[in-house]
Structure 1
Amino acid sequence: MNALRLSCQQLQQSGRATSKAITGVASYCRSRTSPPALSSAPPDSLASRVWRSGPSIGFFSTEPEPSPPHPAPSLYKRIESVRDPKTSIIPVLDQWVREGNPVGEQLRFLVARLKSYKRFHHALQISNWMSARCIVQFSFKDAATRLELVYRVHGLAEAENYFNNLSKKMKWRNVYCALLYIYVQEKCVEKAEAVVQEMKEKCMGCCSFPFNLLINLYHQVGDFHKLDPLLEQMQKEGIPYDKYTRKNLISAYSAASNIPRMEGIINQIEENPLDSGAVSWDVYTTAASGYLNVGLTDKALAMLKKAEEKMPKHRRATAVEFLLTLYTKAGDKGEVHRVWNAYKPTHEPFAILYSCMITCLSKLNDLEGAESIHEEFESNCSVYDFRVLNKLLVAYCKRGLMEKGESVLEEAAERRVCYASSWHILAIGYVNHGLMGKAVEMLKRALSVGRRSWRPSPAILDSCFEYLEKQGDVDGMEELAQLLKEEGPLSRELYHRFVRTYIAAEKSTDDDEENMTTSGTVA
């Protein structure tokens, strides 16, 4: 399972490294088939990036997409200032127009920008607003973009309804690829295969793009037996592998521990002059993970050396994170320290790498080293990030060093506003070690800190309420309930614990039930 997760992470990183990836179905596909006539149709591309949520996939791309016009700064600032997704930005757009300001192509850029920030509700509002007012000619790409946004905001069923209600002339490659990607996200194998078949029947599937998606899907769900028939289909239809096909295959074969096939793809890349120069570091880290899965440590270490040679000079934090993680998995503490000393961040933000290093040293049973890394972070950072300390707290909890963890957090909280998640980690640790009184105390402190959209895990809540029920601690239950009210209504299951505890304590529950229901404490 760890291997599959790591391989999926490899796919994410390879996708991020190809910022124009989905631009893709580009000239190779256009040379095979042309879409039906549609006025003002944009270049044949799905989007100018890889979707960032869920596993990312690399795709064939031969030409960059023109940069869209940037929105007027003040319009972007007005929209950016509306942070609550429940607040409509339509009044902002209407006011902009009433002031006599122009709108047009820059709205597409706004949609793309908001999507990149995962502000899907507002992006969908702009998409609907600009087409409802006929500000721009609705294009294949607009339809594909809206399909994705409908999925992000309303879910799979609404996305399918949107697709089904599109006119026939709008259902071209861009839109089908967007639907296919959604099915990959949802791991709907049969539906994804049906989309690819329909694209083939309509002469839309004549490039590697949909096949790359299916390779990734089979990887995610573990249908590795479907890879060979899929590759045979590509060969039969004369569709060549591209570098992303090979990357996805390496990830899939690595996850399946199919070392001969994985090595075969790597050899193809290295022996092909056109591919060998372009091979990226993540190909080798994926291969290293595959070798480690089957205990071939020496081969894994050789791959990691190649990966290090291929690291980019700039923005290399992700590559360093993988090197640290995989050297840790190989049990080579010396290489972990070497990589850290060679590439540790010298300017902010660097919390991610410090967090990674603490986790790695903890796994290597070097708690003293992990503490030293945290001290180094604390002395170098200008803005303290509790996520780094959280990794050290996890290490303490796993070793039963609860008092030490609490002491370190208390000291950090004296000088800064602590994260709710930090106290929550201690609550989990106390639950795991059977110290329920302390667990309840830590949970209360986490809820007292509070954080928008944060809520404790249901398992911890249930454990703490179960403990309070057994103790007959009505006051403790009421205190927790009031704290939870700030984070959302209490579930009926937890309320039933109240009833049983009140009855056991011979207290009346009628008034309390009415008060909790009307105040929103109970869902």
Structure 2
Amino acid sequence: MASAIFTILKRNRNLTENAFLLRSYTSGTQASTRKNLYSRISPLGDPSLSVVPVLDQWVQQGMKAKYIELSHIIRDLRRRRRYKHALEVSERMRSKELYVLSPADRAVQLDLIGRVHGLDAAESYFENLSDQEKNEKTYGALLNCYVREGLIDKSLSLMQKMIELGFASSSLSYNDIMCLYTHTGLLEKIPDVLLEMKKNGVSPDNFSYRICINSYGLRSDLNSMEKILDEMESQSFISMDWTTYAMVANFYIKAGAREKSLIYLKKCEQKLDKDALGYNHLISLYASAGDKDEMMRLWALQKTMCKKLINRDYITMLGSLVKLGKLEETEELLKEWESSCQFYDFRVPNVLLIGYSLKGLIEKAEAFLEEIIRKGKTPSPNSWAIIAAGYLDKQNMEKTVECMKKALSVRGENKGWRPKPTVVSSVLSWLGDNENIEDVEAFVSSLKTVIPVDREMYHALIKAYIKVGKEVDCLLQSMKTDKIDADEETAKILSSR
């Protein structure tokens, strides 16, 4: 019953939010109607909210939905993994017959259907396409669906049909098959795909070579990895970039081949130019190699070459210093960030919290966090969760529970946060054994706002009830309602009555 009520409340809340957003967009002011369509769709981040009413209102206000604008919206929504909303926009284009969908449009729509509604729906969409609409792009989109699901037989069968129809003329389909073998652990088959690709007159691209290099690296076949790299470098149609050299350097670092790794780290640096992400990767690799001097040199170079340092850059450098155990330097760099940041992103100081925790300095970590809070900052739930995990490592359960409660109290700062299952499990077990019913119920109630109700939550409640002689039949019935089966642990707890 409780679960059903929560579902109804959530649904009503979503409808209210949708209505509010629509009212704000359709107030009739000139400023509102001048906004482009994407500015209306973008705030609807909750997948349970539909963008269809926004599209309808846009048309009702006499605004034109330009093809190029809709295409850009779909592309951006896909990039942000808002597949349901991207599909709604795509289907609106088709259902209203606003535009003639191109082969690329249909391929994108097929891919989105697979992501949102599943493989059966994607296959049905493909089968209903006309012969003219079944082309290299739509076949490729269906292949991508099969690869995403890890379906080897279906993928290979479709790939063979594409080759027979002349629909495998680019590297994309071959890359899909190599990705399939990567995800399914069949790494030894990847070089054969590269060979077949070249045999069929299809030129590999950067990604093709990188997948093959990665397959050899993962199998610790470094000689073959280097041969493929040499071949890649010799191809006139390939433009080498820092990504490939970073990958090769990483495998040599993991193999303990320091001299070899330095060769490719230098080649990587030569390709960086002003790419901040490349600097981040290279700094991290030098941290893995244990070379602090090179880290610091590249950090100084990045400051010179890149126009502006962002939080991601500081997180990378702080994390690299923590990896080397250089906490004093980490503290100094954090002060530098604090003096220049415009928005206090707790992911940045969290790196130092992790560093303290790794060194067993959990009290210092807590004091550091408390000092930030005294300055008027509201921490993310993960900040307190890091402290909680540190206290758990020291078997200080009272402090672990206290910090987890604080994490749950600020969950609004990061609604996507999820606590670590190991910490949750330990806390629930301890609460059931040591705390009163009210405390356990309060904690479980808060916990249910971030993760689904599970067996361990009920076990904590049952323990608390049994301890004071309270009847547990209502809890057992609620477990059934929530479709949670009793197990051996449940029976063991009940036997203590």
Q: Give the TM-score normalised by the residue count of structure 1.
A: 0.78
**Deviations for 1:390-415, whole angstroms, at most 9, x for unmatched residues?**
11111111221110111111111222
Checking the alignment, whether the CA contact within 8 Å between 1:428 and 1:460 is kept in structure 2 is yes
Equivalent position to 1:444, from 388, 392, 405: 405
Checking the alignment, whether the CA contact within 8 Å between 1:257 and 1:293 is kept in structure 2 is no
1:383 aligned residue? 343
Equivalent position to 2:355, from 386, 395, 402: 395
* Cα distance in 1, alignment partners of residues 307 and 398 from structure 2: 42
After TM superposition, list the pairs within 5 Å mapping 1:10-409 onto structure 2: 73-105=35-67, 106-275=69-238, 278-313=239-274, 316-344=275-303, 350-409=310-369
Cα distance, 1:78–1:211 mapped onto 2, change above 3 Å = same
Query: Which stretches in structure 2 are left out of the alignment for 5+ residues?
Result: 1-32, 486-497
Checking the alignment, whether the CA contact within 8 Å between 1:390 and 1:422 is kept in structure 2 is yes
SS in 2 for 1:302: helix
Q: Give the TM-score normalised by the residue count of structure 2.
A: 0.82
**Deviations for 1:325-356, whole angstroms, at most 9, x for unmatched residues?**
11112121211111112214876561112111
The number of aligned residues is: 447
* Cα distance in 2, alignment partners of residues 505 and 308 from structure 1: 66
% identity of equivalent residues: 36
1:11 aligned residue? none
* Cα distance in 2, alignment partners of residues 496 and 272 from structure 1: 62
**Deviations for 1:36-67, whole angstroms, at most 9, x for unmatched residues?**
xxxxxxxxxxxxxxxxxxxxxxxxxxxxxxxx
**How far 1:437 moved relative to its partner?**
1.3
* Cα distance in 2, alignment partners of residues 309 and 208 from structure 1: 27
* Cα distance in 1, alignment partners of residues 99 and 294 from structure 2: 55
Checking the alignment, whether the CA contact within 8 Å between 1:114 and 1:120 is kept in structure 2 is yes
SS in 1 for 2:132: helix
1:10 aligned residue? none
Cα distance, 1:423–1:516 mapped onto 2, change above 3 Å = farther
2:3 aligned residue? none
Q: CA RMSD in A?
A: 2.8
* Cα distance in 2, alignment partners of residues 475 and 167 from structure 1: 63
**Deviations for 1:148-179, whole angstroms, at most 9, x for unmatched residues?**
22233234444344334444433221122122
**How far 1:508 moved relative to its partner?**
4.0
* Cα distance in 1, alignment partners of residues 309 and 442 from structure 2: 38
**How far 1:283 moved relative to its partner?**
1.7
Equivalent position to 2:430, from 454, 461, 467: 467
Checking the alignment, whether the CA contact within 8 Å between 2:429 and 2:456 is kept in structure 1 is no
**Deviations for 1:124-147, whole angstroms, at most 9, x for unmatched residues?**
111112211111113322221112
Checking the alignment, whether the CA contact within 8 Å between 1:472 and 1:504 is kept in structure 2 is no
* Cα distance in 1, alignment partners of residues 101 and 34 from structure 2: 21
* Cα distance in 2, alignment partners of residues 405 and 151 from structure 1: 45
Cα distance, 1:489–1:235 mapped onto 2, change above 3 Å = closer
User: Which segment drifts farther, 96-105 or 122-131?
Assistant: 96-105
1:59 aligned residue? none
* Cα distance in 1, alignment partners of residues 180 and 448 from structure 2: 40
Query: Which stretches in structure 1 are left out of the alignment for 5+ residues?
Result: 1-70
**How far 1:113 moved relative to its partner?**
2.4
Higher share of residues assigned helix: 2
Checking the alignment, whether the CA contact within 8 Å between 2:194 and 2:212 is kept in structure 1 is no
* Cα distance in 2, alignment partners of residues 462 and 441 from structure 1: 15
SS in 1 for 2:36: helix
